[in-house]
Structure 1
Amino acid sequence: MEYVVRLTRTLQTAAALTLLLAATACGSSGSGSDTATGLNPPDLKAQSELGRTEGRVNIIAWAGYVEDGSNDPKADWVTDFQKQTGCQVHSKVAASSDEMVKLMKTGEYDTVSASGDASLRLIASGDAAPVNTGLVPNYKDVFDDLKMQAWNSVKGKAYGIPHGRGANLLMYNTEKVRPAPTSWSAVFDDAARYKGHVTAYDSPIYIADAALYLKATRPELKIKDPYALDQKQFDAAVALLKKQNADVGEYWGDYLQEVSAFKSGDSLVGTTWQVIVNLAASEGAKVKAFVPKEGATGWSDTWMISAKAKHPNCAYKWLDWIVSPKVNAQVAEYFGEAPANAKACEQTSDKGFCATYHAADTGYWKRVAFWNTPIPQCLDGRTDVTCVPYAKWVQAWTEIKG
């Protein structure tokens, strides 16, 4: 199996430096959008029926999501789409969620593969239209626990089609880290044992990983959602990360960077993604990875349609195509993530792929707190305090790294 990731998730989160719209909010993982706080998007209507295709679709996507064979001859799910629909694909790779939001505001793009921090902004601003899932036949086979979630729906109205998901795991060197860890304490309270060989994800969103750990280990802080931190909770997470900094040998952003560090022994324990584990192990690194007992953070992407789409019928055709079993399987294997379509698991070239990525393991995903963007209105529903917005997370991350 060849694992190829053209763009790291760092670019999806670390560059998201602008403040959210004041109205934007996201619910916690698995909570459903009805619990969202302060989000009151424009009353837009979903398209009621498909018309004649326009012959073109303009797409904004993460690298690796819209492949036409030019990067890798074996990765091409655009050519057949064009032949079958007559919709010529014109795609642009975005380097960050901020860039996706900016490009969607131009009205020049029809659809986008938005991560959670971008999707809620696009909904709140009226740049993303509600999606009529009845016009996307393959939606019926999407895993139920990806449908109508806080990052892709609001007040019972769907705003997109789920694409895939992944968890942020704890990886360790099986020869040097003994006994085998069971907790995130290996990179926090016990990090000094591996001083200079601890690695951490280089992004302000990593503050949520510290908050998730504190949620379990310091109940007096009363953390409910790692993305909804009041000042006291936030200060505790930042203090933990500043302490950790003394033991961190490297903050990684590029997945190949982390593979190399674990192969050489420069890194012995730290946060990772499943695709990195697979690649590192295939190249001889003695590593294992898992979701620790406290749970983990993670990510999920959504295909959305612009409220100003000039080619909405082709856009709907693309949404149905990209989430169809065969294509969703191709994308998932190419990028390294769990597919959204349950039937995609029958189409993967590696028949153990979905088991490796826990695609159908509902219990596994209940332990994952999917990335959201913090805002002053606390995402956990509290109204008696103000939560620390993402801009402050960005400032704090600079201080944490020293």
Structure 2
Amino acid sequence: MNIRKNLTASVSIASMVMASAAPAFADGELNLLTWEGYADPSFIDAFTEATGCTVSATYVGSNDDFAPRLAAGGGVFDLISPSIDTTAPLIAAGFVEAIDTDRIERFDEIYDAFRTADGINADGQIYGLPYAWGAIVFMYRPDMFDEPPTSIADLWDPALEGRVSIWDDKSALYVAARRNGDMDIYNLTDAQIAAAQESLLEQRPNIRRYWSTAGELVDLYLSGEVWVSNTWAGYQSALLEAEGMEVVEFIPEENAEGWMDSWMIVADSPNQDCAYEFLNMSISELGQCGVANVNGYSVTNPVAARNCMTDEQFASLHQDDPGYIDSLLLWENLGPRLGDYVSAWNAVKAQ
């Protein structure tokens, strides 16, 4: 799939929507702490033209990056886009503020399951605007395998020494736990976390590198260093396809994780008008088809998606089947256990 297919037409239509929806320039600057692709010029330029709000982005490689960056000086940022397993601690720490949904014109169009998710609702207030969702699947080079991998356990095969890459994120523990047969991955006991940690240490000879960004994983494949990995479904595979490399995504026998990212306003952001302009853009045709075309992700506003996607794209991104995400192991708030997971993962990397 070409992730930029129909991007020009989508942005052109959506820019007119943005221009008609904005009665006056908000005129300001927004600083984002976000993921690759979420501030792509292909749609951000149209947003700036329509609103007068300029956008600067700092990119993260893991959900574990948000809290430390905010704790070190959250006032630098106006908006962040953490995943659903990371939002609750940010709310509890006071790093983000409640969203005034009366200022979000199309809030009711978002899938109900996302609008009411525990991770963005607290004390009767809403702290996150659902933006995009998808799966953490696995990916391999078919030219390097006589028999294609079908299980997470295949990534521990000694024949793959130095040919595996796993995301540099605490979710590596989710992968190892499923390999061990522990499927309640967001409620692991101390013993199960220790077992997952031991499995990851056992896998170390197979690991070429723990990847942090989409570009890093793409380069590892293009250089021939990596043959199999986990991946952000639809994103890195499309980047590799654009470079002429064939890769195949698959959901292993042990299932795949699901995620949902939300935009959140950093507490005491001085750029409120531009922040709300951006939030409204993010769930409009411009923002929804922007991220779908750039990253290959599914989106949270099916009304906007229907307006700017082809029937083929709408179906391929499961926009006509929101129940698809229920079949995945959707990330959950780890609560007080978050530190245990992060510490265990950091200990693996330190070995």
Aligned residue identity for 1:289: E
Percent identical residues: 24
Counterpart selection for 1:91 from 53, 56, 78: 56
- Give the residue type in structure 2 aligned to 1:89: T
Alignment partner of 1:289 out of 249, 260, 266: 249
User: Counterpart in 1 of 2:348?
Assistant: 397
Residues 225-374 of structure 1 correspond to what in structure 2 (within 5 A)?
A: 226-263=185-222, 265-273=224-232, 274-348=234-308, 352-371=312-331, 374=334
Q: Cα distance, 1:291 vs. partner?
A: 1.8
CA distance in 2, matches of 1:398, 1:169: 22
Match of 2:32 in 1: 60
SS of match in other structure, 1:164: strand
CA distance in 2, matches of 1:248, 1:110: 36
* Residue number in structure 2 paired with 1:119: 87
**AA paired with 1:101?**
L
CA contact (8 A) 1:332 1:339 kept: yes
> What secondary structure sits across from 2:67 in the alignment?
helix
Q: Is the 8 A contact 2:201 2:348 kept in 1?
A: no
How big is the shift at 1:234?
0.6
Equivalent pair of 2:237/2:247 in contact (CA under 8 Å): yes
- Aligned-residue Cα RMSD (Å) equals 3.3
Q: How does 1:102-181 map to 2 (within 5 A)?
A: 102=71, 105-106=74-75, 109-116=77-84, 118-181=86-149
Worse overlay, 237-246 or 112-121: 112-121
Shift of 1:324: 0.7
Of 167, 176, 180, the match for 1:201: 167
Residue 57 and residue 148 in structure 1: after superposition, are their counterparts in 2 closer, same or farther (change >3 A)?
Answer: farther
Shift in Å at residue 360 of structure 1? Answer: 4.2
CA contact (8 A) 1:177 1:269 kept: no
Structure with higher helix content: 2
Structure 1: gaps (5+ residues): 5-51, 70-74, 379-386
| Per-residue CA distance 1:245-301 (angstroms, 9 max, x = gap) | 222334333433433444454332221222112222343333211222322224322
- The answer to whether the Cα contact below 8 Å between 2:47 and 2:53 also exists between their aligned partners in 1 is no
- Residue 93 of structure 1, CA deviation: 2.1
C-alpha spacing 1:354/1:210, structure 2 compared with 1 (3 Å): farther
* Matched positions, count: 327
Question: 1:211: which partner in 2?
Answer: 177
More displaced stretch, 318-327 vs 351-360: 351-360
Distance 1:53 1:260, change over 3 A: closer
| C-alpha distance in 1 between matches for 2:69 and 2:49 | 23
Larger deviation: 249-258 or 267-276?
249-258
- Shift of residue 391, structure 1, vs aligned partner: 4.2
SS at match of 2:249: strand
Contact 2:47–2:281, Cα closer than 8 Å, also in 1 = no
The 8 Å contact of residues 258 and 329 in structure 2, kept in 1 or not, is answered as yes
For 2:200 and 2:111, how far apart are their aligned partners in 1?
35
1:9 — aligned with what?
none
Maintained 8 Å contact 1:259/1:279: yes
Displacement of 1:132: 3.2
Residue 2 of structure 1, CA deviation: 5.6
Cα pair distance change 1:336/1:102, threshold 3 Å: farther
Deviation, structure 1 residue 164: 0.7
Residue 121 of structure 1, CA deviation: 3.0
Change in CA separation of 1:80 and 1:176 when aligned onto 2, cut-off 3 Å = closer
SS in structure 2 at match of 1:302:
strand
TM-score calculated relative to the size of structure 1: 0.69
For the 8 Å contact 2:48–2:55, the answer to whether it is kept is no
Q: For the Cα contact (< 8 Å) 1:212–1:296, is it kept in 2?
A: no
Compare 235-244 and 340-349 and name the one that shifted more: 340-349
Query: Counterpart amino acid of 1:227?
Result: Y
Query: Structure 1 residues 284 and 94 mapped into 2: Cα distance closer, same or farther (>3 Å)?
Result: closer
